[in-house]
Structure 1
């Protein structure tokens, strides 16, 4: 599956791997556990997907949200498909805790302290998501 990412997604995210419905990305800034699911479709909005693909995407999105909640011991998991800045359909899954730098505000459009993920952490996420989501890891 060859999905061309919007330049902003490509610049801002690590490509963790592929699931049957598309790609799983991770925001480069490690201040929040912020994952994205990018469906393999030219459609720009969730409601535009055919029902079968929409169901599969939402199910995978839910599995990703459940993994984030468990993995990061989250108080809340923020999920959204906004698309106002990046028109390519992408679904956010953001783990939130009372002690995160933006709590209780929303994470979208905010500036976070710069923190990077180590290669070991990225590889660990890929391994865990291979089990949790049937992810095929992207080359590191």
Structure 2
């Protein structure tokens, strides 16, 4: 589900037991260094907003940032709120499952609404 979009970027949710968002560039740049400098800076400003809002709302044990882009060869950043008792911790979410988790987290939908409001002034 897309929760934010402007002329340069969009943010989608990833279906998961943990809060997990993906930030994409609108133009399908292959490498981060392919982005014009101003867009790289804005990408990390956007990332910072998402990370801080995720920390403040969900109080995770750790935020994970990932950008492998081997399967989807375009610039995008995964932002994940991790918990010591999530199903995969301390492994990456793509790793070996460690346990069956029963996380009691605040509403993802309310977080998306909160983030959308926070991003209203971020448009390019």
Provide TM-score, normalisation by structure 2.
0.79
Q: 1:28 aligned to 2:9?
A: no
Kept in 1: contact 2:2–2:13 (CA 8 A): yes
Partners of 2:28 and 2:22 lie apart in 1 by 17
User: What corresponds to 1:56 in structure 2?
Assistant: 42
Q: Structure 1 74/127 Cα, relative in aligned 2: closer, same or farther at 3 Å?
A: same
User: What corresponds to 2:53 in structure 1?
Assistant: 67
2:82 to 96, 102, 116: 96
Deviations 1:84-132 (A, max 9, x none): 111132110000011111111111355697xxxxxx843x233201222
2:94 to 91, 108, 112: 108
2:4 to 17, 23, 30: 17
Shift in Å at residue 46 of structure 1?
A: 1.3
* Structure 1 residue runs without a partner (length 5+): 1-13, 114-119
* Structure 2 residue runs without a partner (length 5+): 101-106
Structure 2 SS opposite 1:134: helix
Q: Structure 1 135/74 Cα, relative in aligned 2: closer, same or farther at 3 Å?
A: farther
Kept in 1: contact 2:23–2:47 (CA 8 A): yes
Shift in Å at residue 82 of structure 1?
A: 1.1
Q: Structure 1 33/68 Cα, relative in aligned 2: closer, same or farther at 3 Å?
A: same
- What is the number of equivalent residue pairs in this alignment? 116
Provide TM-score, normalisation by structure 1.
0.71
Shift in Å at residue 18 of structure 1?
A: 1.3
Deviations 1:2-26 (A, max 9, x none): xxxxxxxxxxxx2122145311111
Partners of 2:95 and 2:61 lie apart in 1 by 21
Shift in Å at residue 54 of structure 1?
A: 0.4
